[in-house]
Structures are given as structure tokens and as C-alpha cells.
Chain A
Amino acid sequence: EAGVAQSPRYKIIEKRQSVAFWCNPISGHATLYWYQQILGQGPKLLIQFQNNGVVDDSQLPKDRFSAERLKGVDSTLKIQPAKLEDSAVYLCASSSTLGGSAGNTIYFGEGSWLTVV
């Protein structure tokens, strides 16, 4: 079974530029998550999708971050314009909802490393 795929793995941009990250979840997984992990910290949930609908985006800085999951499969996370404090690893994850969402294992991709200079 293929895992969660993310690209690009590494990106360096200047502040005020834009960047987009792509995620392809495990086939059949209805729930997709984007987490931000700043160096030395735990992952912080940015947005959670159930199919193509948003169920939680309370910690997404909506003035600069946006995410979409068209057709309920792939997802894109965009940052525009980027700030220095956006330097982090952006982790995409997915989980199945078979038998209900609760307690299902979340599978993570390897992350997209962003450096803003």
C-alpha cells in the first residue's frame, strides 16, 4: 500500500513570496490533515478535511494560508505571502473513516521542509 505522498520535499523562498505544497493521501482515506511543525515543537494542526469539506481550520492563518481538497482526494496548501516565521515542516496526513473516525490511525507523509529567508 502506497503511503502519503508529499511534494516538494524542500523549498527555499524569500519572504513575501508564495509557495504551494501538494499532498496525495493513502487511497480511500477520507480524512486529510495538514500540520505545521516548527523546529523543536510538536506538530500543530492547520486544517482537517473530511472528503472535500473542512471540519477544522481554527488554527489556519487565513490571511496568508489557504488549502483546498478538490474532488476529495489530493490537497494543496498555499502560503502567500510567506513570512520568516513560516519556516517549518508541513506534514500531510490521512486516515480512514471505516468504522467511524475515532481512534483510527493517522498516517503521515515525510513532510515538506520550508525555509523562508
Chain B
Amino acid sequence: AQSVTQPDIHITVSEGASLELRCNYSYGATPYLFWYVQSPGQGLQLLLKYFSGDTLVQGIKGFEAEFKRSQSSFNLRKPSVHWSDAAEYFCAVGAGGYQKVTFGTGTKLQVIP
């Protein structure tokens, strides 16, 4: 069975600073990897996904993520954080023919002025 680990529960960054959120997965074959964002009281919105091909994936809102098979990682990055990026971020792995998607525990991002 697949699993996802997000080692950082809470991260605080200054507005304008760069951001990296960590995600490690466990799965025997090549997984499908996702990053979702959840604002308070809202559902989850897809930021980006890795399916195959180029290991550097561009997403919405200026986010990108890099798939590193050797490290079983799919870290999310943004070069300059905006106050509106404050939210909770979930990494997820999909596997199997019917794509069972398993989520990590999330990283809550706080942005300070």
C-alpha cells in the first residue's frame, strides 16, 4: 500500500521569501503525485500533479514541484510567497488501476509581513 509523509506540520515564512514544502512517498512502482491546497473552510484545490515525463512540474499560482525517484520525494516550491498563500498544503499519491489516492497529514503555511 502507498503512503505519504509530510514531515513539517507547520511552516512560517516571510512574505517575499522562498518556500519549500517537503513530501516523501512510499510506493513500489512509479506513483502519480499531487499537491493540493486547502484554505480555511474550503475544499481542496489541485496545485499540480506528476503523472510521467518531465520531473519538474509547473502548477497554478506560481508553484512548482520536482519528482526525485532516488529520494522518493516530491517537494513543492515557490520562489516568492504572497500573503494569500497562507493555507494548508497536502501532498498525495495515487496508485492502482482505479487510482486510490492517499493524502499526507498536511503542512500549514503561515505568511508573515
Contact = CB atoms under 8 A, between A and B. Distances in A.
Answer yes or no: do A and B interact.
Answer: yes
Interface of A: 4, 31, 33, 35, 41-45, 48, 50, 55-56, 91, 93, 95, 101-111
Interface string B26-63: 00000010101000011111100101100000000000
Contacts of B52: 103
Given A42-B105, A44-B103, A45-B102, A105 B49 contact: yes
Max chain B CB contacts within 10 Å: which of A31, A35, A93, A106?
A106
B43 A110 contact: yes
A33 B51 CA distance: 20
A111 B43 contact: yes
Contacts of B6: 42
A41 B100 CA distance: 18
A79 B112 CA distance: 41
B104 A42 contact: yes
Nearest to A9: B41
